[in-house]
Amino acid sequence: MFPEFDFDVIERSLPYLFREGMTFTVTLTVLAMSGGIVFGTLLAMMRLGPLRWLSAIAGGYVNLMRSVPLLLVIFWFFFLVPYIGQWILREPNPVKVGAFTSALVTFIMFEAAYYCEIMRAGIQSIPRGQVWSGYALGLNYWQTMGRIVLPQAFRNMLPVLLTQTIILFQDTSLVYVISATDFFGAAAKIANRDYRLVEMYTFAAVVYFVISYGLSTLVKSLQNKVAIIR
């Protein structure tokens, strides 16, 4: 087995794999994380807020996203985003979107549900006294949340948020099904073009392992530093 392992094909395709594939994966991860955390925090505030109908909508959305497979959500948005764009922008025709944009919308909308649950737990773990002090000082709900609760919640939940992001990084490989050229998609293309399945898929697995393991080790050491001693 090993004497026939063609390291050459890996070496030849490194530029393509990393310049096209890894760039796609990393960009998608970073943007989806940012958008997902923002939208997720908004959803968490809706769920914990005073308006019951808003809370119900947010809750329903989160439960829906958590009940269906990510692959199904990817297919949904791949075909629907142009129509959604048409509706929002009031265009006469469906809006043109590429695979990246559709994937980005998918991952923001999907991960927001998971980030929401994390932020919700984070917000709820802040002692109520903080909120009351905020109100006592004359701040309204949004100011209290924005200036007092969220910064603390965010800091407490940072390790869990980052772990979710590592999971997001791994999940981006699923864009294979919409033929997007992320890192895994690029490896699969080379594998099929040059008939080197073993080499390329093994290499892809190793790269994902090194990056994920490295990041999760960093998160663990961050966790030790950030732990607030009450």
Partner 1 sequence: MHYNWKVFLEMEPGGTGSYLQYLIVGLGWTLATALAAWAIALTIGAVVGTLRTTSFKWVVRLGNLYVEIFRNVPLIVQMFLWFFVVPELLPTALGDWIKQMAPPWGMYIPAVLCLGLFTSVRVAEQVRAGINSLPRGQRLAGTATGLTQAQTYRYVILPQAFRIILPPLTSEFMNVIKNSSVALTIGLLELTGRAKAMQEFSFRVFEAYSAATVIYLLTNLVVVLGMRALEKKVRVPGLIAAGGAPQAGH
Partner 2 sequence: MKRLSLLLAALLVSGMVAAQEGTLKKIKDSGSITIGHRDASIPFSYYDDKQQPVGYAMDLCLRIADAVKAELKMPKLEIKYQLVTSANRIPLMANGTIDLECGSTTNNLARQEQVWFTITHFVTANRWVAKKSAKIHSLQDLKGKTIVSTAGTTNIKQITEINGQQNLGMNIISANGHPEAFQMVETGRAVAFVMDDILLYSLAAQSRSPKDYEISKDALSVEPYGIMLRKDDKPFKQVVDAAMTKIYKSGQIKAIYAKWFQKPIPPKGLNLNIPMSDSFKKVVANPTDSGDPAAYK
Which residues here bind partner 2, judged by CB under 8 A? 16, 20, 78-80, 82-83, 86, 93-99, 177-179, 181, 189, 192-193, 195, 197
16: which residues sit within 8 A by CB, 6+ positions away? 186, 190
Which one of partner 1, partner 2, none is in contact with 66 (Cβ closer than 5 to 8 A by kind)?
A: partner 1
Q: Which of 50, 52, 67, 93 binds partner 1 (CB under 8 A)?
A: 67
Report, in this order, helix, strand and coil percent for the chain, each rounded to 5.
85, 0, 15
Give the nearest distance from C-beta 59 to partner 2 in angstroms. Answer: 30
Angle formed by the axes of helices 183-193 and 23-48, to 10°? 140
Contact 159, 222 (CB under 8 A): yes
Largest separation between any pair of C-alpha atoms in the chain: 74
> Per-residue x/- mask for partner 1, residues 81 to 110, rule CB under 8 A?
--x---------------------------
- Per DSSP, the three-state class of 4 is helix
Residue 14 vs 71, nearer CB to partner 1: 71
Q: Around Cβ 228, how many Cβ atoms within 10 Å?
A: 7
Residue 20 found at the interface with partner 1 (CB under 8 A): no
CB nearer partner 1, residue 101 or residue 202: 202
Instruction: Compute CA 63 distance to the chain's CA centroid, rounded to the nearest angstrom.
Output: 17
Phi first, then psi, for residue 179 (nearest 5°) are 60, 30
Q: Which residues contribute to the site for partner 1 (CB under 8 A)?
A: 1, 64, 66-72, 75-76, 79, 83, 114, 117-118, 121, 125, 160-161, 163-164, 166-167, 170-171, 173-174, 176-177, 184, 188, 197-198, 201-202, 204-205, 208-209, 212-213, 216
